[in-house]
Chains A and B, each alone.
Chain A
Amino acid sequence: MSTSTKTADDALAQSAKDERVRKEPIIKKLLTRPELGSVSGALMVFIFFAIVAGDSGMFSADGILNWSTVSAQLGILAIGACLLMISGEFDLSIGSMIGFAGMMIAIPALYWGWPVWSCILFAFAGSMFIGFLIGLIVVRTGLPSFIVSLAFLFILRGLTIALSILFTNKTIVSGVKEVAEGDILAAAFGGEIGGWFFNWLAQVGWIETYSDNTPIVTGIPMVIVWFLLLATIASFVLLKTPYGNWIFASGGDAKAAKNVGVPTDKVKISLFMFTAFCATVFAACQVFEFGSAAADRGLLKEFEAIIAVVIGGALLTGGYGSVIGACFGALIFGVVQMGIFFTGADSDWFRVFLGIMLLAAVLFNNFIRKRVTGS
């Protein structure tokens, strides 16, 4: 054994000074990073709106808070959709899941008299079970997840409306804020942090205040905290853990991965559960922010999340992508959506922009894939 290691070391030393190895230009290396498109896209978007809408209040404290909240909301969904897409699957039921999870919080809290924290746990358990079910159907039947989750898009939306009418006779359930008063778990989704910091900023005059001396920004909403937290964890898991390697392997070539012992079915099911988890975080933040749940919440969010992920450099076919990229995709989304609002342009233009952005991103990703696979 010692001799073999020795030859290995020799060979290693030899290869280290191989004259055929040359340094690749940094630009070329950067070009193979999945994040490149969305990071440079975000930069361009910022520069564009700094010029066009620089004096409209978009980059004042409350303006920044505004578009970062919108970005964070979508970002939370995009993180789940991103990992799932890298593992080679889709979930089109995210949007409907938001409406369903919101009702799972609001109805027990208001009509059944459950303590709010237990409603939140119930919503998480319920939606993750549905995620598990979708995943199980996908891996057991081998049907495309596109079809299975499309079915759940309709099933869940229909259930949300039918059940909320059955239990409450309404499709909008409001009054959650009152019952959530003083509930710690509710505050973890609907609250704010860093209030003292913004008070201090207002005192020294760095941010504006209302006439009664309260700062116009009172704290960072928990949705942004959740976004940053989930982005960090998901990115760490994807890039640094064995499980992350399995995600790439499952999406890159599920058969190959299975042959070397990667539990691809478990990986995929767990990621369907994670997307459902992310949808529920989104739903909880929204319910406690607005104080209400509505059956039509989250409409079309599944597509927005997928667009953010694709802009972020993930391949629709799986096996390649980046959580950081998806987060920047969501940022582009939020900035443009709010930027168009701030510039006073017709918001219909936002959709035109989205479509063009999506096309450009996919073309760019195809180019990157060809570079990476050498085909």
Chain B
Amino acid sequence: MSEYILELKKVSRYFGSVIALKDIDMKIKLGEVHCLLGDNGAGKSTLIKILAGVHEPSDGEFLLNDKPTGFDSPRDALDSGIATVYQDLALVNLMSVTRNFFMGREITKKWGPFTIFDTKKGNEIARAGLAEMGIDVRDPEHSIGTMSGGERQCLAIARAIHFGAKVLILDEPTAALGVKQSANVLKVVARAKARGLAVILITHNVHHAYPVADRFTLLNRGKSLGSWLKSEVSREEILEMMAGGQELANLEAELAEFTRADAG
């Protein structure tokens, strides 16, 4: 048994003539936050979809607990303990907290000859799961339409954890959030890690990723620039390596030009 729960070896994915991903190596360890960084179009989405069972790799090896694995469907990945929280969160605004929490995997009990949705127990579990994320649910039967973006993110994460996720993939969890809510979500990531889960955090915001991540993998134009432990690399170096690094330097130079012109 190796120390890595998930391992990608030279994984590639092609869509017709387009090379979306080429020779990606990646190692995921339990109790670690692995941050996947890259600009738009770097292939982050394709990589998650391979991990989540939406796409199969065109080439390369996919190891789960050292065994070569292939997922036929997202359901398959889910059953193997790999849960993905997409940007749209897969929540229904018109439905209650509990109904969302158990959507598709309803908790049931016997009621005479019928199998019914056990809302009472469901309410308790949903409330407890969210309380662990630091969120008080006023009424689990209330629709989630009135919850904030951060609270909804936590609901989606709590749901994934409750249903036995070992590897939690978070797709841009802080993209649409304010500063405070982002901090909250990052705290939740740290908590999930403390519970022994492996977290894959996809983002293009280094400032959000750096404080919680243990390991970084950088993607650029479908290729991996490499993986580093946090101790091996600084925030600035990462920024530099991302496609934006050079651009930002240029931008800074340009801005400096402007200020000089203004002063003159």
Contact = CB atoms under 8 A, between A and B. Distances in A.
Interface string A1-31: 0001001110110110010110010000000
Given A14-B131, A259-B86, A246 B94 contact: no
A299 to B, nearest CB: 33
A320 B104 contact: no
A256 B91 contact: yes
B4 interface: no
Contact of B143 (A257, A262, A372): A372
B131 A261 contact: no
B103 A257 contact: yes
Interface residues of A, number: 38
Interface residues of B, number: 39
A143 interface: no
B103 A320 contact: no
Nearest to B105: A261
A246 B95 CA distance: 11
A319 B92 contact: yes
Contacts of A244: 117
B260 to A, nearest CB: 47
- Most A CB atoms within 10 A — which of B92, B127, B143? B92
A229 to B, nearest CB: 16
B92 A256 contact: yes
A15 B131 contact: yes
B2 interface: no
Contact of A4 (B117, B124, B195): B195
Contact of B108 (A242, A256, A375): A242
B117 A242 contact: yes
B239 interface: no
Contact of A261 (B91, B104, B124, B129): B104
Interface in A173-198: none
Interface string B37-75: 000000000000000000000000000000000000011
A7 B132 contact: yes
Contacts of B90: 253, 255-257, 259-260
Contact of B95 (A12, A14, A248): A248
Q: Lowest 5 CB-CB distances: which A-B pairs, in order?
A: A373-B145, A252-B92, A11-B131, A374-B146, A242-B106
20 contacts: A7-B132, A12-B127, A15-B131, A15-B136, A240-B111, A241-B115, A245-B103, A246-B104, A248-B92, A248-B94, A248-B99, A249-B95, A256-B90, A259-B86, A259-B90, A260-B105, A261-B104, A319-B94, A373-B143, A373-B145
